Amino acid sequence: MCKWDIFLFNCNCFTLGLKEHCHQHRLKQTANCNEVQQVREAWVYRQNKVCQNHTGQEETFANGPTVTWSELESKVYQLAKEYAAKGDFPGRP
């Protein structure tokens, strides 16, 4: 399982960064990974700022992110699967 960090912005937007490649991906040395992708609530890192798309709207999102893990989990997992299938393993923002 490839493991992913989730970087959550005050505007509820998020980005992913690869935490660790899975054992299978390291052995195969292929560009993509079709194994299970792993995301966990403990790997959510609040950025305490808005994303680049919401720059200038800081006051609107002054209270920080309002999304819950249950709302975020499936979106994050799906995006991690898409990234891994394409061989796109972004790092930290």
Tell me the pLDDT tens digit for each residue of 24-81.
Answer: 766 666 678 888 899 999 999 999 999 999 999 999 999 999 999 999 999 999 999 9
Would you state the pLDDT for residue 93? 63
Domain range for 65: 2-86
92 assigned to some structural domain: no
Q: With beta carbons less than 8 A apart as the criterion, state whether 91 and 75 touch.
A: no
pLDDT of 31 reads 72
> Domain total for the chain?
1
Q: pTM to 2 decimals?
A: 0.87
The answer to the question of residue 20 being in a domain is yes
With respect to residue 93, please indicate whether it lies within any of the assigned structural domains: no
The pLDDT assigned to 23 comes to 75
